[in-house]
Structure 1
């Protein structure tokens, strides 16, 4: 795995974490930057600069046996789009320059999907199905972005049309492209073989991903039928989770027996967060709870971070550390533990405050200060991991052959 590309991805993640830290500091002492613009910058860099580009790097590394120069050029063009968003969003939000770079990123993602579809090589139906499904969901999600302009022109930013378009993009990016792509990479690491159980898992996962979009639609266009559709999606998702655990259990023990404890812990942590994500989604079967989740922003932010930092980043860190890019020493353990410590504490703080709001108990004492202090551990952990990789001279890669 190319060291330079991984370093760039982690640098993007570090910047996104610093921006998140600034957002939380702004509640303690106002900063002279538009909060909404900074939020847009943070979310775009985390999603498109960190997760997207890290998935790009891993997919090319594992599934493109003959490395064509076009992949390297496309990576750097995509990074230029990310840098453009970093430099434009904080000062203008959604405007001509930032929209231009966002559009460039989308066009790059289309070309990436085409190239992977054309040149990927794997004898495994498991990874082929999952990889192609993740790419299709990535393409599908961008329909939401293209609908934003017409939504503003026809109904305005406060309209249900505009809000549903945003939710369409986010839902299929997170639950379609990101989650299914990391599962594809995870199953590739486990060398999972095709089976009747896998095919049933795959069908349930795809169906659940589509059907659970009914819940965010319900928030802006309430109708009882949407709750029933979401309920069916949640049940299918629970069934898919059961099969997921059944598929990985015998292989996980075998694959991890010769790995370092850190990799075992990271895989276990990511799988646990995946289970927790689906269990928490399942409570949306209760209409009252689904309304509470939407009304109290703490729960929404907590859930987004559970998906992005717990599930997706948990797996991505596992894949990075499983390579020879890192120096396995106590400082690497400290780096990962620092990041996870910050993640867990911020999640608990958000949830506790959300529950207090719901119970009409007011604010948690020193809530914003605690949230800021706990958030410091996130960029600190990323920086320590970056430092480990940059200073590690022997950066050959353990290659997992496609099967």
Structure 2
């Protein structure tokens, strides 16, 4: 079925697509550091560059592009009013990309991290003001809360400097500050932004959904978001009451997910008819990954599971990539295809998207297999080579994605040159 065109800023989207390629390339470098040596490079510093650039350079910028296209009038987002925070964010991300591998958390990298936070606050303020006239009130509610959680997550980076300066680097306080940032990025900002775009699509395409159930989904997921942070601190073996509260929050997330699934039941046939082949595949993967995310969080409320996650880091890394790649990125790629922003039609781009998905599945399979084997007291032979191979597949796939974005020049009336 022909995708539904949606005006967008092509330069913004292409920038985000190129950044995705850089994120994948850094992932290859991280995996290579387990099998080889690069003089002068510290694994942890490269990891900081990888994660910060993934969150800011890929996800933040692509979500800015899509949220403005969905909820802000063209005459506003095509002006310097939005170009300034977008390109300020890009400068900040490039600065972090260059400084983190050299110094880790230092004066320069922290300065660029702060600049990214300034850009995000800048965007949030003008977006909330300019989106008031949109006809899509329910999806906008998800988007605004996504921005609130984005701003809440930004509190954590400001605490890392004082924590490290007082000699607490590597302590539970240090790691819990990082988990605070990760939680409100993954489960707040990214998740609510994705669901905003999902319900925007349903309303824009006039696909039926149960508004009452969708409102309940919003309510339960929103109420659960803040206390669900407690799931991230269970590795410290806190008092029993913390386990109880974390379990309740995880249960509320499950309830919200059940309402979410039931809300789309009335229009499921319409949605499947509207989705083309790749859109259906990618959104199906995203849906499975989202449900898996919620169930894994529920499982993590069990003290023994929380202990496993702490001792076997393959589980944590697998979970983070499940959410970042399986849920969020696959949803966004499907969204881009369905709204005419990404073309996967030529043999090369189709092949590279298959390669990307193969890398995704291989990465998850190896990480969780390694975690299970380690849990049973064994060791998965060749695990680092397998993970490097998966990273190379992901990188090759992102080249096709960026190429598909470049191929849309002049296709839509909202393109900018």
Answer yes or no: same fold by TM over 0.5: yes
1:358 counterpart (350, 369, 375): 375
1:53 counterpart (61, 67, 71): 61
1:335 counterpart (323, 330, 352): 352
1:265 counterpart (261, 268, 281): 281
2:318 counterpart (294, 302, 324): 302
1:43 counterpart (20, 43, 51): 51
1:279 counterpart (285, 295, 306): 295
1:58-97 map, 5 Å: 58-65=66-73, 66-67=75-76, 68-97=79-108
Q: Which has the higher contact order (CA 8 A, sep 6+)?
A: 2
Is residue 118 of structure 2 the alignment partner of residue 111 of structure 1?
no
Superposed CA RMSD: 1.8
Is residue 32 of structure 2 the alignment partner of residue 25 of structure 1?
yes
* Runs of 4+ that moved beyond 6 A: none
- Cα drift, residue 221 of structure 1: 6.0
Match of 2:168 in 1: 156
> SS of the counterpart of 1:147?
helix
1:157-306 map, 5 Å: 157-191=169-203, 195-220=211-236, 222-306=238-322
- Cα drift, residue 137 of structure 1: 0.6
Task: List per-residue Cα deviations over 1:88-129 (Å, max 9, x = no partner).
Answer: 111111111111111000011111111111111323332122
1:11 counterpart (2, 14, 18): 18
- Cα drift, residue 392 of structure 1: 4.2
Match of 2:336 in 1: 320
Task: List per-residue Cα deviations over 1:49-105 (Å, max 9, x = no partner).
Answer: 000110010011111113242101221111011111111111111111111111000
- Cα drift, residue 255 of structure 1: 3.1
- Give the conservation status (yes or no) of the 8 Å contact 1:338–1:378: yes
* TM-score, normalised by the number of residues in structure 1: 0.94
- Cα drift, residue 393 of structure 1: 4.2
> SS of the counterpart of 1:325?
coil
Task: List per-residue Cα deviations over 1:313-358 (Å, max 9, x = no partner).
Answer: 0111112112333333343332222111101011100111111111
- Give the conservation status (yes or no) of the 8 Å contact 2:359–2:394: yes
* Count of residue pairs brought into register by the alignment: 398
Task: List per-residue Cα deviations over 1:259-280 (Å, max 9, x = no partner).
Answer: 3211111111111111111112
Moved more, 241-250 or 169-178: 241-250
Task: List per-residue Cα deviations over 1:159-213 (Å, max 9, x = no partner).
Answer: 3322222111111011000111011001110116683322221111012211211
